[in-house]
Chain A
């Protein structure tokens, strides 16, 4: 796995003064966040605190009104999503998004999109790509389903499929939007194990999650969002005791 070569910082992804409004409401408000390189970062906060909008700004799905996103020492603010994906940031979506009418294997193969017209005209099912896609499907445990259409597999399997698709792009940083949302406890454990394994290989994670048990058990670094900006950050233990966090969550 690659390590940050330039900038002697220990973080690869950070934002400065990131702001995005929708019709007068500031969904993300002057958010400056630094994620820890090589660690499992969690992004938590009450509903509507702007976590998903923040995700979308970072990954280029939404263009921020102001502020910057920098990744591995490079300003990536406002780049189109596919450029950000190719710079090494993979993401999943809230509620899980897969390509319903493509097969499970095809879903994973979408992520192989090389530069250059001739490369793109090559067969999408060449042995090397298919081999790697199968490996990833095996890794998340759904390789036996590769010929099924993605809409026919269960929701939990779709979540695993989405993760396999993200991994196909070999991202250095992986952003997961509610990986445990809507899945059963057994699968939550499985996803948590996968995240740990992948992290041990050197991949950085940034996870938006409501399942506090998962967050506290899994993450090294927690950033708490409220009203569009970070109000606290630190280790799970530190954050848990922060009065601001209690206030934001419980409205005390």
Chain B
């Protein structure tokens, strides 16, 4: 305890007055990074060599939507759901069934599907979020298993294990590459929406309460945070976006199979992507989705039907949990920062806050 003797002494990280130049530099770098990301996404379809590459792009963006949505509950509250495929699968089925049974407009059906799934998440959250720790993750796994069972068996309603054909929102006159391109942009739009939501919550009082829950739930409650209501809110918002992701994917892919919709593996990917990229950061899950999604697609095309991708996923998840529970990218960043001198991370956040102070004062 180096500073115990002087309560008013300086802490190790120097939080001195921010220099004039650095914040602008950081802001410029950030804006440039964001613009570059947007540019890459916008240009990708025209740069993609063939429709296959473009379809891989759609798949990766879809993973990014799911992982970012997962992170709305996993990242903020620290409650890990291994069964988020339940919400994406339900989103897909809800969208498809609304179109097929009621003749609803596909985009309206997508939105309605998201709202229905958000409503389904409420009782699930009530059952699993009141007690801490194990119940939530147990329930999440059970939910996927039960949905897989029911959707496989309920032939008359869901098409059962034969699957369900989803009508395409764009007519057959739109050719395949064109379909891919449109859905690529649609997924990018949904991703932007999910990221924006994360960002808004991050800055809100709700976000402050949620992060406090992740750090120390008892303490948060003692400070007046209504923890149960907050956790439930995060879960419902997360389920909504996950369902939109599942529904949009269903509209693109055009076919639903309960085995793949309610797959434990899909839920695992969401966790792995978020953990890998870092659950505390806005773009962490996106980054994880690009890495893992690409690896999954390569694995599938290289090794086809073998079970090796299960082993690879399992081993990778185990390694991340054991050695880098905060994520690979955060671990690398802090490693690099430590080598460059401890203060740098803190200085950046100090400057950011100073910057926000300026903005607030304006």
- On whether A and B touch (CB less than 8 Å), the answer reads yes
Interface residues of A (CB under 8 A from B): 59-61, 80-82, 85-86, 90-91, 93, 97-103, 105-106, 109-114, 117, 119-127, 130, 141-142, 144-149, 152-157, 160, 165-166, 168-169, 183-184, 186-187, 190
Chain A contacts of B228 at CB under 8 A?
A: 80
- One of A100, A103, A127, A160 near B360 (C-beta < 8 A): A127
Asked whether B1 is an interface residue with its Cβ less than 8 Å from the other chain, the reply is yes
Question: A166, B218: Cβ atoms under 8 Å?
Answer: no
> Roughly how many angstroms separate A169 CA and B219 CA in the complex, as a whole number?
13
Whether A124 contacts B222 in the complex (CB less than 8 A), given A184-B5, A187-B7, comes out as no
The 10 A-B residue pairs with the shortest CB-CB distance in the complex, in nearest-first order: A154-B3, A147-B350, A99-B215, A85-B224, A81-B221, A124-B208, A110-B212, A111-B223, A147-B15, A120-B206
B331-362 interface bits toward A, Cβ cutoff 8 Å, 1 = contact, 0 = none:
00000000000000010011001101100110
Name the B residues within 8 Å of A184 (CB-CB): 4-5
Task: Tell me whether B311 is interfacial, beta carbon within 8 Å.
Answer: no
User: Is B101 interfacial (CB 8 A cutoff)?
Assistant: no
Chain B contacts to A: CB under 8 angstroms? 1-13, 15, 200-201, 203-209, 211-212, 215-216, 218-228, 233, 280, 346, 349-350, 353-354, 356-357, 360-361
Q: Which chain B positions have C-beta within 8 A of A61?
A: 218, 221-222
Are A93 and B219 in contact, CB atoms less than 8 angstroms apart? Answer: yes
Nearest-CB distance from B169 to chain A (Å)?
32
Interface centre among B8, B201, B350 (most CB of A within 10 A): B8
B362 nearest CB across to chain A (Å): 10
Closest chain B residue to A166 by CB distance? B223
Most buried by B among A98, A156, A183: A156
Q: Which residue of B lies closest to A121 (CB)?
A: B204
A121 touches B218 (CB 8 A): no
> In the assembled complex, which residues on chain A have CB atoms less than 8 Å from the CB atom of B222?
59, 61, 81-82, 85, 90-91, 93
Bound-state CA distance A114–B346 (Å) is: 29
Q: Shortest CB–CB separation between residue A133 and chain B, in angstroms?
A: 11
| Residue of A112, A113, A142, A147 touching B353 (CB-CB under 8 A) | A147
* Contact A154:B11 (CB < 8 A) given known A146-B353, A147-B350: yes
A105-B353, A110-B208, A154-B1 provided; 8 other pairs, C-beta below 8 A?
A80-B221, A81-B221, A109-B205, A113-B205, A130-B357, A144-B8, A145-B11, A147-B353
| Sampled A-B contacts (19; CB under 8 Å) | A61-B221, A61-B222, A80-B226, A82-B222, A99-B220, A105-B353, A110-B209, A113-B223, A119-B205, A121-B200, A123-B203, A142-B7, A146-B353, A147-B15, A147-B349, A149-B346, A154-B7, A156-B7, A157-B11
Q: Which one of B6, B200, B205 lies within 8 Å of A112 (CB-CB)?
A: B205
Interface of B is mostly: helix
| Complex: A70 Cα to B216 Cα, angstroms | 27
Chain A residue contacts of B9, Cβ below 8 A? 154
Q: Kindly state the separation between the CA atoms of A126 and B356 in the bound complex, as whole angstroms.
A: 9
- List the A residue with the shortest CB-CB distance to B225: A113
In whole angstroms, what is the CA distance A51 to B11 when docked?
33
Q: Is the CB of B205 within 8 A of A157?
A: no
CB distance from A189 to the nearest CB of B (A): 10
The interface residues of chain A lying within 8 Å CB-to-CB of B1 are 154-156
A61 and B220 CA atoms in complex are apart in Å by 11
A191 to B9 CA separation, bound complex (whole angstroms): 16
Tell whether, in the assembled complex, residue A110 and residue B220 are in contact, meaning their CB atoms are under 8 Å apart.
yes
| Nearest CB in chain A to that of B357: its residue | A130
- How long is the Cα–Cα vector from A91 to B222 in the complex, in angstroms? 7
Cα distance A239–B350 in the bound complex, in angstroms: 50
CA distance A127 to B356 in the complex (A): 10
| B349 (CB) vs chain A CBs: closest residue | A147
Bound CA span A99–B360, Å: 24
How many angstroms from the CA of A45 to the CA of B117 in the assembled complex? 54
Bound complex: CA A108 to CA B360 (Å): 18
B205 touches A148 (CB 8 A): no
Q: A99-B216, A111-B223, A124-B207 are in contact. Are A148 and B3 (CB under 8 A)?
A: no
Which chain A residue lies CB-closest to B226? A82
In the assembled complex, the CB of B268 is this many whole angstroms from the nearest CB of chain A, namely 25
Contact indicator B225/A153 (Cβ below 8 Å): no
Contact B224 A113, beta carbon cutoff 8 Å: yes
Closest chain B residue, CB of each to CB of A80 = B221
User: Which of B208, B227, B233, B361 meets A106, CB within 8 Å?
Assistant: B208
Q: Are A187 and B4 also in contact (CB < 8 A) when A82-B221, A82-B227, A148-B15 are?
A: yes
The CA of A186 and the CA of B157, in the complex, are separated in Å by 73
Alpha-carbon gap, A183 to B224, bound state (A): 27
Bound CA–CA A137/B355 (angstroms):
19
Cβ of A147: which chain B residues have Cβ within 8 Å of it? 13, 15, 346, 349-350, 353-354
Contacting residue for A190 out of B7, B203, B219, CB 8 A: B7
CA distance A72 to B341 in the complex (A): 53
What are the residues of chain A within 8 A of B224 when measuring CB–CB? Answer: 82, 85-86, 111, 113, 169
The residue in chain A whose Cβ has the minimal distance to the Cβ of B16 is A144
